[in-house]
Chain A
Amino acid sequence: MESTSIFEVSGLSKSFAGLKAVDNVSMKIKTGEILGLIGPNGSGKTTFINLVTGMLEKDAGRITIDQHNIGEMQAYQIPVHGLVRTYQTIRLFKHLSSLENVMIGALGVGMKRKQAAAVAEDLLEELGLSERRDAPAQGLTFRDQRLLEIARALAAKPRFLLLDEPAAGLNEEETDELFALLSVMPEQKNIGILIVDHDMRLIMNLCNRLHVLNYGQTIAEGKPEDVRRNPEVVVAYLGSEAS
């Protein structure tokens, strides 16, 4: 029953008033693997996620999941094709309860209410949020809010999950918890994960492959240990730290 899906992006580009935020980027992710998308601040990582999820209109490029062309779809039509995301700055439905927040992920891909409730209950339990199920999301701790956003994304039963800096704002212990959660997810749920983060310890330990952006362009791709030694990557990071 394990089938492999492929999420493929080719030649993706986007400029903001002349600034090339994403410049001819191509990438491929299979279910079962974790790809790290890294790069200095402003290198286009969030813009990449916004483009592939239809939140921003692209200038050029092709985006597919198993031959389905999702690149021309409205943002709300994409989750049902198996692609969901989380946000760098948490975006929850703050007046909705935790349970309702997660249910929305399931309702958004057309599940019926009862089923959505059951899926949501299971996910809250899995992520250790059951205790807060009826509390409005705005009352949750930062860590719980991060997890809740992931739960909402997972409720859509995606094939691909795009995480935009899920560890931002978490302390070391919480980041380790996140690592434990994410590291088993691709196999357990048969999904592919794209993770953006600045926490190199997390990225290096978690990812099967890395994709490095700088000024919107791909400057390196490959195994974490190779990418780490890539001179261009070293310069990009040192450069951004020096400035």
Chain B
Amino acid sequence: MKRNNTADENTLAAASLGSRPYFNFSSKWSTVVLLVAILSGIGVFIWWLNIPFIEDIFTSSVITLISVLGFQLYMGNSGILNWSYVGYVGIGAFASAIFSMEPSLKAMQIPIMYPFLQKLHLPFIPAVLAGALVAMIIAAVVAWPLMRLSDAVGSITQFALLIVINVLLSQWAEVTNGPRTFTLGGSRQTTIWVALGFAILVITFVYYFKESSLGMKLRTSRDDRYAARSSGINFVKVRYQGYVTSAFIGGLAGGLYSHYILSITAGSFYMSELFKLLSMVVIGGSMSVSGAFFGALIVTLAQQGLRQLELGLTRSGFEAYGMSEIVVAILMILFLILRPNGVTGGRELSLEALRNLFRPKQYTNNNGNKK
């Protein structure tokens, strides 16, 4: 069939674009700038403090931030909780370690490892990226048939998938050293600066993803699947693309983690980790990148504070072990009941939002009544 009206209108549209830019810096990209500034500010301050113990906590928290950003990328835009996400973090952690370790070291530490894996050897950063790629490829292979399933069945299969990944990571001795600890050896490669650098890249990427055509399409499938379909969107396809992208970032976080902690077991990438990520996006607000960011910040601070308290109490004879988990869980439940969109309410931090904060009367009337 003929569609006579596109050619002229394309040029017209292109011409009119200059005068009305879609990207308004203060409302769009200021989010990335602000989040990066906050994170870097904290990072530089902690580096300046020069207390190794605090620097360690910060570095591991930044890795968790990367992980939660990847988790939010899928959950926030598609509206679907991906139970298997931490499995991809685990895959990235092990795969990157296998890539980066010296062959001779691997032969010594994990003698039963498949010879072709023992021979692999890449420098640190390429190994981390390769590990992320492995996680992404595995996601790409297993996810296609799962994306068509209905929501309830879909969640159950993702949950089952997490169990499968966990069993493989903890039992496939020729790859992961099985239930024994997988020790990387050498010195810590994910330094505070490496973690920070990747976090800045990932914040930018995740925000860009949300604003991209793909992210926008994915968000439509979250809001109204029928309208998405009748607007020409194949939501199975966009979900798949989102899922696979999210697995890449998860794998990246895993690789950074294993090169930070230097000895890993499959148990680090299971329920308690999933629960941590989930509490972060719930408390921060799953629908925005800023939500994942502030959720990570709040939960990390709460956990660290509570852990100190726990230690203090335990030392003084009061058994308080596990208290921090309980408190975070209760906090999450309260948020789900009282403020289901988290502290950010699903909005992004931006210059405009900050401005409105100081002029609430005029600007916060967002409930649609004209004037």
**Interface set of A (CB-CB < 8 Å, partner B):** 1-3, 5, 53-55, 65-68, 74-82, 84-85, 87, 91-96, 99-100, 103-105, 107-110, 112-119, 121-122, 131-132, 134-136, 138-141, 144, 152, 156-157, 159, 189-190
Contacts and interface: CB of A to CB of B under 8 A. Distances in A.
Given A93-B219, A109-B232, A118-B17, A136 B366 contact: yes
A51 to B, nearest CB: 12
B4 A96 contact: no
Nearest to A112: B213
Contacts of A5: 1-2
B217 to A, nearest CB: 6
A95 B227 contact: no
Nearest to B221: A93
B1 A68 contact: yes
A152 B17 contact: no
Interface of B: 1-6, 9-10, 13-14, 16-17, 20, 22, 24, 27, 212-213, 216-217, 219-220, 222-224, 226-235, 287, 346, 366-370
A1 B27 CA distance: 40
B224 to A, nearest CB: 5
Contact of B5 (A55, A99, A134, A190): A190
Contacts, number: 142
B232 A95 contact: no
A42 B354 CA distance: 50
A113 B16 contact: no
Given A3-B4, A81-B1, A93-B227, A104 B233 contact: yes
A76 B233 contact: yes
B230 A96 contact: no
A93 B220 contact: yes
A119 B369 CA distance: 26
Contacts of A94: 223-224
B1 A74 contact: no
Given A3-B4, A95-B287, A122-B16, A79 B367 contact: no
Given A92-B224, A93-B223, A104-B220, A117 B1 contact: no
B6 A96 contact: no
Given A55-B226, A82-B3, A118-B13, A144 B368 contact: yes
Given A79-B231, A117-B22, A119-B9, 12 more contacts: A74-B229, A78-B230, A82-B3, A84-B231, A92-B224, A94-B223, A95-B222, A104-B217, A107-B216, A119-B13, A134-B24, A159-B3
Contacts of B213: 107, 112-113, 116
Contacts of B370: 131, 141
Contacts of B369: 141
A135 B365 CA distance: 11
Contacts of A118: 13-14, 16-17, 20
A144 B371 CA distance: 14
Nearest to B227: A91
Residue picked from B27, B216, B226, most chain A C-beta under 10 Å: B216
Contacts of A77: 232
A218 to B, nearest CB: 24
Contacts of B366: 135-136, 139
24 contacts: A1-B4, A82-B3, A92-B227, A93-B219, A95-B346, A96-B219, A100-B216, A104-B220, A108-B232, A108-B233, A114-B17, A115-B13, A117-B17, A118-B16, A119-B9, A121-B22, A122-B16, A132-B368, A140-B368, A141-B368, A157-B3, A159-B1, A159-B3, A190-B5
